[in-house]
Amino acid sequence: MKDFHGKVAVITGAASGLGRAFADTAAGLGMKLVLADVQAKALEHTAEELLDGGAEVLAMVCDVSKGAHVQELADAAVARFGSVHLVFNNAGVGCGGLVWENSEQDWEWVLGVNLWGVIHGVRMFTRVMLECAQRDADYEGHIVNTASMAGLLTPPAMGIYNVSKHAVVALTETLHHDLELVEAPIRTSVLCPYFVPTGIAHSQRNRPDELASHERATASQVAAQLMTEKAVEAGKVTAQDVARITFDAVREGRFYIYSHPQALGAVGERFDAIVQGRPPADPYAATPQVRDMLKAGVRGRR
């Protein structure tokens, strides 16, 4: 997809972080916007600012972990704009700690948003886009699923997040093959950002009450949270940078999108270990100070 003007973009997690940056970039390119988020006030503020800037906007509060909500979003997008061209399955949350210390509620919350949110987006919007293609011989569509470098690496004390993002990578790769199989005019990409200053480190603010964990935070969970906050806040690549990189990738039809390609050395080491049958490579081999800080925190030392 090279021409964005007048096309329709659907963005989940649109009220902040990468989602907001995608919305700003899409608006600047003359796209019509369908914005979804669980943060009602932040979503309203985002929509108002974009409307004031001249964009056509449909904003809906949407919990992507619920299929019925995503179906309502898809139905509303078609009812308002008639078609959908570019979909960002982007909403995400984070939760850390030693993998055996996470509660069932932790798993349900993170997998619900990070994985089921993408599953619902793929299920609902791929069908919509295929229907659009049947009505328009010149139709072009693109689906971008937000994973993470944690979808290609397995850093410690991030088990739930790693699992969710690895699944998004596998889902998107399979979607690519399935779309090729039916010769659909729809391309797909998986976005794997590293540490980018967004609100992901504070996503607990959006955790629903029914999935709240009432257990006291363990040393590993506290350490993982502190490390994530520091790493995210120190990120030099901004959400706006990632949006620019992502739209360039859509123009060029690239599948894998990286915000920090220098991190791919660790990915290569991981896959070498897989091929050679060795134990998993240390994702912090190049930054042992990070591993040492995390280890001290997990053991309860400050």
**Average of per-residue pLDDT across 161-187:** 98
pLDDT of 293 reads: 83
Q: 0.85 exceeded by the pTM?
A: yes
Domains in the chain with CATH codes: 8-217+236-263 (3.40.50.720)
Separation of first and last alpha carbons in the chain? 50
- Establish whether 256 is a catalytic residue: no
pLDDT band, very low/low/confident/very high, at 280 (cuts 50, 70, 90)? very high
* DSSP reduced 3-state for 271: helix
| Residues 187-242 pLDDT 10s | 999 999 998 878 777 888 888 888 988 778 899 998 888 888 887 777 789 999 99
Residues 6+ apart with CB under 8 A from 152: 166, 169, 192, 267, 270
pLDDT of 90 reads: 97
Question: What is the share, in percent, of the chain residues with pLDDT greater than 70?
Answer: 99
Residue 135 has pLDDT above 90, yes or no: yes
pLDDT of 198 reads: 83
pLDDT band, very low/low/confident/very high, at 297 (cuts 50, 70, 90)? confident
pLDDT of 302 reads: 42
Which one is catalytic: 161, 194, 258, 284?
161
Per-chain mean pLDDT for the chain = 94
Q: Distance between CA 40 and CA 60 in Å, rounded?
A: 8
**Average of per-residue pLDDT across 235-264:** 95
User: At residue 301, what is the residue type?
Assistant: R
Determine the angle formed by the axes of helices 219-233 and 288-298, rounding to 10 degrees: 150
Phi, psi of 282 (to 5 degrees): -75, 115
CB atoms within 10 A of CB 256: 16
Q: Which residues pair with 32 in a beta bridge?
A: 8
